């Protein structure tokens, strides 16, 4: 199998701010794996928060090209070789993983959801994210997002209650809030209890990821479920989170791809945890790969492509918030010229 990479620079329609910074451009990579006349596509969206950069991800992909072998169906063996070659680099592994699944689906002439035995009618509703801004501007963004029945509101500031109040005044959508670890435990208890009157569905990653006792205390003091993102990266994290949270957020770029995400989903279910599928800033390529798994989960936050002004791909569609999976073989993604 032959692997090629090229840069994939995604420009956000508007600057996207969360509690720990602002993003205007995402420097991703497009991966193509070719075998026996067919090509499979994958995408890497490196995150410095998890130790990935564009340069290190590209270097890892060049190293991983030597470990692919000549059988795209041997995904477990290939991923094991990648782990032996380099311990981390989850974004690079995710790109290779999804390209392999795309290639296998095309070889069998089956869309990924059918290859995995999943019902596309059970795909999830995705939330649409409102980044941090003034209360007035966040309310304006929420009003413009009226086609989405679920909104995810970024929080983690001193004006969180004002922001959510302003959004609720213009929107009857289901509201979820995500602090990206922006609160202390005391701030989280106080703020979540204040936000509860606005009917929030759950809170995502309220405090620092390593503070398990803080999460346990917080869960006892607030009336809404706690879902963690930064606290759950690998399979080994799940047993530690039992009793501390209500659910986990899985991202392909965080765990290393479709294969690892499936294992995380089943492990979470075995521990009676709810499951959400999330994303980084990604094109429709990586978003579609994750969307194929949504029949297995409770929640989806797969809107990274909806925030991008120059998406080079087409795949999954969103109709009134519902993720509509493509019927074409593999991931079902088309690359524009």
Residue 263 bears catalytic tag? no
Q: Which of 93, 106, 152, 251 is flagged as catalytic?
A: 251
CA-to-CA dists, residue 122 to 36, 197, 275, 277, angstroms: 33, 30, 14, 14
Show the beta-strand stretches assigned E in 229-289: 247-251, 274-278
Whether residue 207 contacts residue 219, with contact meaning beta carbons closer than 8 Å, is answered with no
Handedness of CA 63, 69, 72, 78 (dihedral sign): negative
- Pairing state between β 21-35 and 38-44: antiparallel
Residue 251 bears catalytic tag? yes
Q: Residue 248 and residue 242: Cα distance in Å, rounded?
A: 10
Q: Residue 167 and residue 161: Cα distance in Å, rounded?
A: 10
Q: Residue 165 and residue 194: Cα distance in Å, rounded?
A: 10
Q: Which of 154, 254, 263, 322 is flagged as catalytic?
A: 154
Whether residue 195 contacts residue 160, with contact meaning beta carbons closer than 8 Å, is answered with yes
Q: Residue 177 and residue 206: Cα distance in Å, rounded?
A: 9
Does 229 belong to an annotated binding site?
Answer: yes
**Residues marked as binding?**
178, 204, 229
**Residues marked as binding for Mg(2+)?**
178, 204, 229
Task: Enumerate the active-site residues.
Answer: 154, 251
């Amino acid at each position: 199998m032959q692997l090629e990479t090229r840069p994939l620079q995604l420009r956000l329609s508007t600057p996207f701010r969360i509690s720990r910074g602002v993003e205007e451009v995402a420097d991703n990579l497009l991966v193509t794996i070719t075998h026996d006349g067919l090509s499979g596509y994958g995408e890497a969206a490196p995150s410095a928060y998890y130790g990935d950069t564009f340069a290190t991800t590209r270097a890892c992909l060049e190293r991983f090209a030597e470990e692919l072998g000549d059988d795209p169906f041997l995904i477990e063996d290939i991923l094991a070789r990648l782990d032996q070659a380099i311990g981390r680099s989850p974004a690079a592994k995710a790109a290779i993983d999804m390209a392999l699944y795309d290639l296998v689906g095309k070889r069998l002439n089956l869309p990924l959801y059918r290859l995995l035995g999943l019902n596309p009618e059970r795909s999830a509703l995705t939330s649409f994210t409102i980044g941090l801004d003034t209360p007035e501007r966040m309310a304006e963004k929420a009003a413009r997002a009226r086609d989405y029945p679920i909104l995810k509101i970024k929080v983690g500031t001193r004006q969180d209650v004002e922001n959510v109040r302003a959004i609720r005044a213009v929107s009857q959508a289901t509201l979820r809030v995500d602090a990206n670890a922006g609160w202390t435990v005391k701030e989280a208890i106080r703020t979540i209890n204040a936000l509860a009157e606005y009917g929030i569905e759950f809170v995502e990653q309220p405090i620092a990821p390593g503070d398990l006792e803080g999460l346990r205390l917080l869960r006892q003091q607030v009336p809404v479920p706690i879902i963690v993102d930064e606290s759950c990266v690998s399979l080994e994290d799940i047993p530690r989170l039992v009793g501390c949270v209500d659910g986990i957020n899985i991202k392909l770029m965080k765990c290393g791809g479709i294969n690892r995400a499936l294992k995380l989903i089943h492990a979470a279910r075995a521990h009676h945890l709810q499951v959400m599928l999330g994303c980084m800033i990604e094109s429709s390529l990586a978003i579609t790969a994750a969307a194929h798994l949504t029949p297995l989960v409770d929640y989806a936050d797969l809107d990274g492509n909806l925030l991008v002004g120059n998406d080079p791909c087409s795949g999954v569609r969103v109709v009134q918030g519902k993720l509509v999976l493509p019927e074409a073989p593999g991931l079902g993604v088309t690359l524009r010229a």
